[in-house]
A and B are shown apart, each in its own frame.
Chain A
Amino acid sequence: MTATSRESANSESTPKALVFEFDLGIVRLAAIKKAAYRFTADYEVEFKPLHGSGVQVILTPRRALSQMAVLHPSFPNEVLDQELRELVADETKPIRDLIMAQTFSELSLTDPIGEEADYHEDPLGILNSSGAREKPK
């Protein structure tokens, strides 16, 4: 992933654009798009495919701002944050779906014994006299 800047043709009257290149083998396109979306208040966003598995993102300020010091560390970090979010979403999708199903169901899907058994019978072995806890069945 690289971040470069280039001068526009008429640098006195038009704002500078910033160009970033990402390797899609390292970060996902969805992460880059979501990061770019967050900058659309202040920047025009353009995507261009690169040879191989790369993509170029061009951010052109909507106004003549002196924002180079602000943007340079900010956009790549936002892309990394979005990549992290994608990782978390992928990993937690099954458990999230289970929790959602449990939320909207009147049944216990995660611990049917713990929720529905008669507690007088101590189904989870809480009163085990050895003091050792047994894992939920």
Chain B
Amino acid sequence: MLKEAFGAETIYRARMGTSYSLLPFRFLRLDSSRYVLTNLVGEYVVVDRESLQAFVKHKLEPETDTYENLKAKHFLLDGDSTVAADLLACKYRTQLGTLPSLTSLFIFVVTLRCEHSCPYCQVSRQSEDRHAFDMQKAHAEKAIDFVFATPAKNVKVEFQGGEPLLNFDLIQWIVERVEDRNTVESKNVAFVIATNLALVTDEMLTFCRDHKILISTSLDGPRDLHNHNRPRKRNDSYERAIDGIERARAIVGRDRVSALMTTTKASLQQPQEIVDEYVARGFPSIFLRALSPYGFAVKTRAIASYSTAEWLVFYRSALDHIIYLNLIGVRFREDYASLLLRKMLTPFPTSYVDLQTPAGVGISCLVFNYTGEIYASDEARMLAEMNDKTFRLGHLDEDTFTDVITSDKLIACLETTLTESMPMCADCGVQPYCGSDPVFHHATQGDMVGLKPTSGFCQKNMEVIRHLIRLMEDDPEAARVLRTWIL
């Protein structure tokens, strides 16, 4: 029966005519001789300029590899089939499939107190004895209403600070309250605590284990670098972090503890050492992050201490080292590259707030500050600590989830910052992979749309994506490694 169902091979090789029509695509110069073309859903093909011009002018020969690649990846329609348009619509619908679920990440800033003194602190922490900077239980209760008001089936409740363990009693109360309500609501709820682990006790970790709470901590690199970045009175931040990580792993579970780093000027000279520290500590990945322009990072001028170009040198060096480690048998990945590769090589969306259009502010993430105020993102509340409340969406004493999500302020922000329509983003070849970050552009340029030629966000993403595409095209071994990072 199968033999009867399929025709002879010659049938599939025959061409129905030689003319073709273009499907929508964008393009970007990759290097001095090549361009990367991306279609509506982010499938890409790399061609030289002559091929690009021939393709646009309908002069590309059907028997060439370039033609076959462009056809296979839905850049053209010819007489053989019209299915490409259907497939593009289906894939685009898949990419946007999480939008109707709205907010899935809810951040509770349970306190702004912290016992560290990091000069790059983006949250503008307060000293640990100032309880006026703790979230009140009444506000936490109202914030829990938001968690159960969202249409999203899968939600994450994340505790941040300051140092959230300084208000662990409230964390316990919130977790138990959510679990209690969820016996009726039946959502899939994940909990995360973002903590420096310096104050963690076995009792706290036991609670985390019993309630399946994930731990996200900070590890900036080897001991001297970490302690330099994250001062403590006894200069023991690294030792406490490592001790906390090991104890958390022992009690909560090895795979339930993750770490994040922040790149400071001191970090720029040690890309390999930072990666090696993560590998040595048994982490499966690292997220190479630049400093964000908020909080003390601005006050102490930490944010001005290096340029985006310098960070890109650091990033490429660290990425090269990670790829090398993979090639000698060490399984380890870079998480930002993983996110981008998922967008480049699959039609599936990511939940990373900074790489979404419409922007992830509000509709992916809501932040409940210790004051009861509601912010569109973590960065938005950091901005608020600098007396800029542009992205304040409401207050727990006054507003419901519906009020916040349908507010004119949020809708206007999302509408004006779609990458599909912003200057330079609308026709950018990497638009399918990039995102809108209105908070960053407001903070750095005074305009949430932003001027992309001078945007550090744009420069960073363009160059990282170009670098990944060049690796995929020019380095088969690196390409093989990168494909294993798609999550």
Contact with A along B1-17 (1 / 0, CB 8 A): 00011011001000010
**Which residues of chain B from 400 to 441 have a CB within 8 Å of any chain A CB?**
423-424, 427
Return chain A residues, CB-CB under 8 Å to B427: 34, 82, 85, 89
The stretch among A1-9, A20-28, A127-135 that forms the contact with chain B is: A127-135
Q: How many A-B residue pairs have CB under 8 A?
A: 88
If the complex has contacts A92-B24, A96-B40, A99-B85, are A131 and B453 also in contact, measured as CB distance less than 8 A?
Answer: no
Cβ B89 vs Cβ A91 within 8 A: no
The docked-state distance in angstroms from the alpha carbon of A104 to that of B92 is 9
CB-nearest residue of chain A relative to B77? A95
Q: Which residues of A contact B16 (CB under 8 A)?
A: 135
B172: interface (CB < 8 Å): no
Contact call A95/B85, Cβ cutoff below 8 A = yes
Is A46 part of the binding interface, using a Cβ–Cβ cutoff of 8 Å?
no
Set of chain B residues within 8 Å of A95, measured between Cβ atoms? 21-24, 77, 85
Q: A133: which B residues are within 8 A, CB to CB?
A: 7, 11
Q: Which of B67-115 contact A (CB under 8 A)?
A: 77, 81-83, 85-86, 88-89, 92-93, 96
B56–A99 touching, CB < 8 Å: no
Contacting residues, chain B, for A111 (C-beta < 8 A): 82-83, 86
Stretch binding the partner chain, chosen from B25-33, B283-291, B317-325, B352-360: B25-33
Interface residue? B454 (CB, 8 A) = yes
Sample 19 A-B pairs with CB under 8 A, ordered by A number.
A37-B423, A39-B453, A42-B453, A81-B27, A84-B52, A84-B53, A85-B26, A88-B22, A95-B23, A98-B85, A99-B85, A99-B89, A102-B89, A103-B93, A110-B86, A111-B82, A111-B83, A132-B7, A136-B82
Which 5 A-B pairs have CB atoms at the shortest separation, nearest pair first? A102-B89, A41-B453, A131-B7, A96-B24, A92-B24
Sample of 20 more A-B contacts, CB < 8 Å, known A84-B56, A85-B26, A102-B85: A38-B424, A39-B453, A40-B454, A41-B451, A41-B453, A84-B52, A91-B22, A92-B24, A92-B25, A95-B21, A95-B22, A95-B24, A95-B77, A103-B93, A110-B89, A126-B5, A127-B4, A129-B4, A131-B7, A136-B82
Interface residue ranges, B against A (CB under 8 Å): 4-5, 7-8, 11, 16, 21-27, 29, 40, 52-53, 56, 77, 81-83, 85-86, 88-89, 92-93, 96, 423-424, 427, 451, 453-454
